[in-house]
Every structure is written in structure tokens, then in C-alpha cells.
Amino acid sequence: MNLRKISIPLAISLALTAAPVLDAKVDEKTASKLGSTLTPLGAEKAGNKAGTIPAWNGGITSAPEGYDSSKMHIDPFAADKVLYTVTSENLAKHADKLSPGQLAMFKRYPDTFKMNVYTTRRSASYPQMVYDAAKKNATKAELNATGNGVKFAGVTSPFPIPNNGLEAIWNHLLRYRGGQISRTIGQAAPTASGKYVMVDIEETVYFPYNQAGATVESVNNRFAYFLQTVKSPARLAGNILLVHDTLDQAAEPRMAWSYNPGQRRVRRAPNIAYDFPGTASDNQRTTDQFDMFNGSPDRYNWTLKGKKEMLVPYNSFKAHSSDIKASDLLRTGHLNSDHLRYELHRVWEVEASIKKGTSHIYPRKTYYLDEDSWGILVADQYDGRENMWRLSEAHVINYYQVPMIWDTLQVHYDLLNGRYLAFGFNNQGPVDKFDIDVSKKDFTPSTLRRSGRR
């Protein structure tokens, strides 16, 4: 199916080749569009001609009245009504706004899968220091010589006006996510019959690259430190994973360690990358599907296809609500569509195709990146026979106490075996914390050992 593309009103042409463009920075005149015709992060500020996508007017600039940071977020759009519902019966009318993976979901679940579409709310917003850094990055940031790293950037996405697909995917990898976070979440992988066991996970993440004033040169080549502990069920409890993600991954690949409570030992875990199975995922996602895509981009050629209008998960405060339990969302085959919100947004389409001489269980993938946040909202993943294998969706909200856009629930649908993995349940608390006091000293192998022996 040919999906209708939308022209991009940028002063530079899009390079559609996969080769890295090393001199990626733009000139001052082009960068001056940031904050004028473009948003500070590089999205089109204007709405679309049809009026179905509004202009960006700053997003959510303050928390709704009554918001309590110790409780789940108040839905600022709770009064919105469903505009229309996409079903298998009216699918042809909306097909040009859906990804091949989304279309495949309607084919596999024609009687139960649907999309409730709401008014588009361009709610994305960030601290001023993020906007300032993005404009600075635009005229300075470059890919390194291999394309497997970034130079002369800081705080947020390095290429707000991207030239190619590799720059766009680095925008996702390095986007601003609040600096640090502590959260307790649930993960479930229902069987084809709908049965599941909830896996409870504690995570602490520190993003030195996202700190005010940070640069590639100041963070000692580490842009993220990640600590993950499985708390239940008993058969998995006590397994801990520690990851250091690097900026120049050609010079210094990701470093990872694991702690197994049965062995009571910390071990290096170099396989925690690429298509290695994700933590407690029952083989329903790969390691690099966490956060929709993470890790080194070096096994793929990346092609920037352009922009399109697409129905995507957005402002998913209903699924995030404390009024909803995980059991209300988890259904056979897919999440309960009654609690999900889709909106029409412009997205960047980036295709990843496997390089010769490398391997991955997904030889081809297509990512759809939110123009307002650079986060991946939807991903299509194909198997070696070019069959649609898995659809991934990130159901995002504005964490307006920060503020920033990030997913509250992430789901990976397997269209071949009828299963899926849903990750991020915390509706019943405790709430995510972005004001924790952490530093890189809290993410060492010795810290991992001490944590495991508590």
C-alpha cells in the first residue's frame, strides 16, 4: 500500500540515503526557523490544511488544577469525546492514516480490535533549557565518522532539523526524558488464551546527557545509566540488570552486568543488546525494543522516508488513570481498546534495513517518530520472509511536572502467535518520581552486588 506523504516545509532537502552525513549541522538562517515556523524541537508549528491537526501553541505549560504529585496525573482532556472509531468495517476509509502493522491488527482481530480517535492535542512541552539546547545543537551537532555516535551536542535531540534517518533515530535515543526517574511498573505477556502473570519491576535511570548544561564531551561518553530489579513473581525475583549506554558506541560499546540471586554473583552481560530477549518478557520482545528502540543503531541502514499524518497513541491519560487496573486493560490478543486514545499527528517515517554481514530477528523495521517529541510512537517489525511480525505502540502522556512526553504504557503485539507484551502498569501506584537524588556513583557493579544481597 502506498501511504500518502506530506511535504515538509524545510529549507533543506531530505537526504534519503542511508549513508551518514557527517557535517549534519545546519546554518544559522535555517536554525532560526526553530521557534518561528518550526517548534523549538523542529516540528511544523502550523496545523494541517484540513484543520484536523492544530498548530502547536506551547503544549501543556502547567499542571491541571488539583494535581497532586503523589498521585497519578489528572487528565487535562477528560472532557474530550470520541470523534470516530476505526473498525474493521470502516477500515478502508482510514487506511492511509495507519501503519501496515496497525492494518494487520484489524485483519487478525476483526471483531474486537478498534481505535477510538479523539481531538488532536499537541500537548508536548519541555523546559526552556531543552529548547535552548536544541537550537544550539542544530548548528553544531554531528554524527561521528562511523555514524554510530554523536559529537558537539547536549541535553536533548541533537538534530532538530534532520538530514537522514540515522540522525532521526539518534534524536529518539537522546531525547530529553527528565534527567532521572525511579519507577515501579508491571509487565504482562498474556498467552493466546489471555492468561498472564504480572511481573513487578523496579527501575532507576540517570541520564547525565539530559542534565542542564551537559554536552557529549562532559559526560564521559555515557548518556544513560539503567538499573532494573525484578521484584516478583518469586521464580524471577532478585534478578538485577545494570546498563551503561554510551554515546560513541564504536569506541566503547554498551556495558552491562547482571546479578542472579541463585548464584549470588555479578557477571558481565555483553549479550544484553540487539535481539537478545528482553527481561522477563517470555520472548515477546527483544532487548532493543525497550523504549521502542534503544542501543546501537549500527546493524541497520536508516532511511528517512519523510513525514505523514497518522493515527497514533497520544495523551493516554485514561490508560494511565488510577481508576483503571491492569486487569481492565489486559484482554485476549490485545489491550482493551475502550481505554485507549488515538489522535491524528504528523510523524517522521524512518525505515531500518539490516546491513549485509550483520543479523537480527527483524531484518526490516519501520519507525514512526512523533514530530513534537522525537519519541517513537509506532513500530512495524518484519520477519525474514518479509511478513509483518510485530507491531509496537507507545501510549504516551505529558509528565507535566517535568514537563516532557514519555510513554506510560508500551505494548508489543505478535501478529504470528497471537500474543503480546504490555509494559508499564503502575495505575495503582507508586507514582513515577523524577526528582530523585542519584548520580553515576549509584550505578556501579559493586552497587549491583550490594543491592542483590539485601
Cell numbers 537478545 correspond to: 276
Residue 24: pLDDT band with limits 50, 70, 90: low
What percentage of the chain exceeds 70 in pLDDT?
94
Q: Looking at the predicted structure, is the pLDDT value of residue 1 above 50?
A: no
Interval 79-99: pLDDT, tens: 999 999 999 999 999 999 999
Q: Going along 20-88, which residue ranges are E strands?
A: 84-86
Assess contact for 422 and 410: CB atoms under 8 A. yes
Interval 327-342: pLDDT, tens: 999 999 999 999 999 9
Cell numbers 547482571 correspond to: 258
Give every CB contact of residue 397 below 8 A, 6+ residues apart in sequence: 73, 315, 316, 317, 320, 405, 406, 407, 408
From CA 335, how far away is CA 159, in angstroms rounded? 34
Strands 255-260 and 265-268: antiparallel
Q: Which of 19-28, 44-53, 333-342 has the lowest mean pLDDT?
A: 19-28
- pLDDT at residue number 262: 85
- pLDDT at residue number 264: 85
From CA 241, how far away is CA 97, in angstroms rounded? 38
> Alpha-carbon dihedral of residues 172, 176, 179, 181, nearest 10 degrees?
-60
- pLDDT at residue number 448: 82
Q: Looking at the predicted structure, is the pLDDT value of residue 19 above 90?
A: no
Interval 385-433: pLDDT, tens: 999 999 999 999 999 999 999 999 999 999 999 999 999 999 988 899 9
Interval 154-196: pLDDT, tens: 999 999 999 999 999 999 999 999 999 999 999 999 999 999 9
Q: Looking at the predicted structure, is the pLDDT value of residue 3 above 70?
A: no
Cell, residue 34 = 526553530
Give every CB contact of residue 75 below 8 A, 6+ residues apart in sequence: 64, 315, 317, 318, 320, 321
Interval 114-131: pLDDT, tens: 999 999 999 999 999 999
Interval 193-215: pLDDT, tens: 999 999 999 999 999 999 999 99
Give every CB contact of residue 211 below 8 A, 6+ residues apart in sequence: 155, 179
Give every CB contact of residue 226 below 8 A, 6+ residues apart in sequence: 203, 204, 205, 241, 242, 243, 244, 245, 443
Interval 265-286: pLDDT, tens: 999 999 999 999 999 999 999 9
Mean per-residue pLDDT, 54-62:
97
- pLDDT at residue number 453: 60
Domains and CATH numbers, the chain: 28-452 (2.50.20.10)
Q: Which of 128, 139, 124 is nearest to 212 (CA)?
A: 128
Q: What is the DSSP string of 186-255?
A: EEE---TTS---PEEEEEEEE-GGGSTT--GGGTTTEEEEEEEEEEESTTTTT-EEEEEEESSTTTS--E
Residue 150 CA from chain centroid, whole number: 19
Q: Looking at the predicted structure, is the pLDDT value of residue 41 above 60?
A: yes
Average pLDDT over the chain, rounded to an integer: 93
> Could you tell me the sign of the dihedral formed by the alpha carbons of 177, 180, 185, 190, in that order?
positive
Q: Looking at the predicted structure, is the pLDDT value of residue 258 above 70?
A: yes
pTM: 0.94
Q: Which of 4-18, 126-140, 232-246, 300-314 has the lowest mean pLDDT?
A: 4-18
Q: Looking at the predicted structure, is the pLDDT value of residue 4 above 60?
A: no
Measured at the alpha carbon of residue 316, what is the angle toward residues 315 and 322, in degrees to the nearest 5? 130
Strand (E) or helix (H) holding 311: strand 300-313
Assess contact for 334 and 420: CB atoms under 8 A. yes
Assess contact for 420 and 412: CB atoms under 8 A. yes
- pLDDT at residue number 429: 82
Q: Looking at this protein, which amino acid is placed at residue 258?
A: S
Cell, residue 133 = 539546547
End-to-end CA distance of the chain: 55
Strand (E) or helix (H) holding 103: helix 100-108
Cell numbers 478502508 correspond to: 92
- pLDDT at residue number 405: 98
